[in-house]
Amino acid sequence: MFWECGRMRISVRPMRSGEARRFLEIHHDAVRGIAAKDYPAAVIDAWAPLPITDQAVERLRACYVAPAAARRGVGAALVAEIERIARVHGLADLRLESSLTATPFYAALGYIAVKPGALFIAPGVPMTTLEMRKLLA
């Protein structure tokens, strides 16, 4: 699926075999370069541990945009594709646990705050989150 973001054309596709390590590098760059202002060092270290290991590559569970591509429509295109797929499958709404950093991004896309939360991203390391929801009607 292609998305037009200003003068940039973005292709959204499933991750290919062999791209997991690069994706995790982007995850680390985003967490350490963008989210670090919103969380203490212990949370950042647990959320984006270094070095990147093969075990970490096998546990991908979220999506991030490289800091250099932030605020250029890439994240919005990814969310739009997720929402499109959800509608195709008949889902009425989407819920997510947002980091403090990503909350304004999701709010701009129509997600509303439901309740505060926390994820334990490592033993004894809680990360403050916000549950958000969007109706897909």
Buried b / exposed e across 2-26, counting CB within 10 Å, b at 16+? ebeeeeeebebeeeeeeebeebbeb
pLDDT band at 11; cut points 50, 70, 90: confident
Mean of all residue pLDDT scores within the chain: 87
Task: Tokens for 33, please give them.
Answer: 């370069």
Which residue, 65, 69, 66, 74, is CA-closest to 3?
A: 74
Number of domains the chain contains: 1
CATH assignment of the domain containing 10: 3.40.630.30
pLDDT for the residue numbered 53: 82
Residue-number span of the structural domain to which 58 is assigned: 2-135
Residues 80-93, mean pLDDT to the nearest whole number: 92
Nearest CA-CA partner of 56 in 44, 42, 64, 46: 46
**pLDDT of 80 higher than 80:** yes
Q: Is the pLDDT of residue 136 over 60?
A: yes
Residue 8 has pLDDT above 90, yes or no: no
- Report for 8-17, 72-81, 107-116: range of highest mean pLDDT: 107-116
5 versus 37: the higher-pLDDT residue is 37
* Per-residue pLDDT tens digits for 43-76: 999 999 888 887 777 676 677 888 888 888 888 8
**Which pLDDT does position 71 carry in this prediction?**
84
Q: What is the pLDDT of residues 93-120, one digit of tens each?
A: 999 999 999 999 999 999 999 999 999 9
Say yes or no to pLDDT of 7 above 80: no
Residues 6+ apart with CB under 8 A from 4: 10
Tokens coding 45: 């270290």
